[in-house]
Amino acid sequence: MAEIIQNDGTWTFDGDGVRIVPGSDKGVSLLRRTLGEITVPLDALAGVAYEPGRKTGRLRLKLRDGADPLLQVTGGKLDDASDPYTLTVETKTAAIAEYFVDEVRNSLLLDSVPTGPVDRYLLPGPSLPMTVGAGDGTASFDGRTVRLEWTWHTDEVKTASGPTTLALEDLHAVEWQPARGLVDGHVRFISSPNAPRLPAGRDPHAVELNGFKKDPLMALLASAVVVRMPHPHAPEPGPKALETAPTAPAPGALPAPAAADDHDALLRRLRELGELRESGILTEEEFTFAKQAVLKRL
């Protein structure tokens, strides 16, 4: 097991996943504190890296495309402060961060975890029901319905028709854009690919975001909606597949636990690692790390 404890939070790796607990320091972002504790399963990871710095470094998890609904809806536009997969590391604990990276990388190598996209969400998204007030409105989601209510300073074009209610099954997509400089952001609930795109301040299906503290929470609510919608990478089943397809697991459901390590399988893995080293795919250092991880399981 590897664990690193910082003011920003605590990351623990047990071989099966990374448990992330946000720190209690007042500087920890509102999004991280609201999201709370999460566990990233090993098969959701594409990689991990430690970036050293002059005063502090950063530990980063890279998730596979499509594994996390929050990353899916934010599309790389979350800043480091709000990104739950970034940990600020004090320079005096850099060695611990590097050990953490080695342990995760060894397990990814040992378990042959692919780095490509996935066709289902491997993380469940935030807890429900959820209500967020930011910008010119308040958005609520209970798992079935999105409701948008307006504040006193909302444009009259939006307030004229009263609150907006959208059923989950009627949504085509959810779009989140943070405020940048003098340009406002938004969260938009899209009912049709051909729906007209009005400015967010005048669109009754959108909340305009002005760059204040609670804005990132709208990304959390958006992810709670997205995780319950069809996955963007899910294969389209044919007629026969529709008849015989098993019931899909609930969003965020954990995969069945793996069987105990088989002695012969681990020995075969050692031979495979030796062949990878001989063929030049693995460096001597990578081979040594991976071999030690296998031997621990024997």
pLDDT number for residue 101: 96
Q: How confident is the model at residue 290 (pLDDT cuts 50, 70, 90)?
A: confident
pLDDT number for residue 258: 40
Q: What is the DSSP letter of 198?
A: -
Q: Residue 241 pLDDT more than 60?
A: no
Selected residue with higher pLDDT from 144 and 268: 144
Question: What does the pLDDT average to over 175-185?
Answer: 93
Q: How confident is the model at residue 298 (pLDDT cuts 50, 70, 90)?
A: low
Amino acid (one-letter) located at 187: V
pLDDT number for residue 273: 73
Nearest-angstrom CA–CA distance, 192 and 169: 11
Q: What is the DSSP code string of 163-197?
A: -EEEEGGG--EEEEE--BTTB-EEEEEES-TT---
Question: What does the pLDDT average to over 29-46?
Answer: 96
Q: Residue 73 pLDDT more than 60?
A: yes
Nearest-angstrom CA–CA distance, 64 and 84: 15
Question: What does the pLDDT average to over 35-62?
Answer: 96
Q: Which two structure tokens, joined as six digits, stand for 75?
A: 């599309």
Contact present, 94 and 4 (Cβ < 8 Å): no
Q: What is the DSSP letter of 93?
A: G
Question: What does the pLDDT average to over 155-166?
Answer: 92
pLDDT number for residue 239: 60
Q: How confident is the model at residue 251 (pLDDT cuts 50, 70, 90)?
A: very low
pLDDT number for residue 253: 43
Question: What does the pLDDT average to over 150-178?
Answer: 93
Nearest-angstrom CA–CA distance, 250 and 252: 6
Give the whole-number percent of the chain exceeding pLDDT 70.
Answer: 86
Q: Residue 162 pLDDT more than 60?
A: yes
Q: How confident is the model at residue 256 (pLDDT cuts 50, 70, 90)?
A: very low
pLDDT number for residue 242: 47
pLDDT tens figures, 79-131: 999 999 999 999 999 999 999 999 999 999 999 999 999 999 999 999 999 99
pLDDT number for residue 236: 74
pLDDT number for residue 147: 97
Q: Residue 232 pLDDT more than 80?
A: yes
Q: Residue 246 pLDDT more than 70?
A: no
Q: Which two structure tokens, joined as six digits, stand for 268?
A: 């075969």
Say how far residue 4 (Cα) sits from the centre of its chain.
Answer: 20
Out of 24-33, 53-62, 238-247, which region has the weakest mean confidence (pLDDT)?
Answer: 238-247
Task: State the chain's mean pLDDT as an integer.
Answer: 87
Determine the straight-line distance between the first and last CA of the chain, rounded to whole angstroms.
Answer: 16
pLDDT number for residue 255: 43
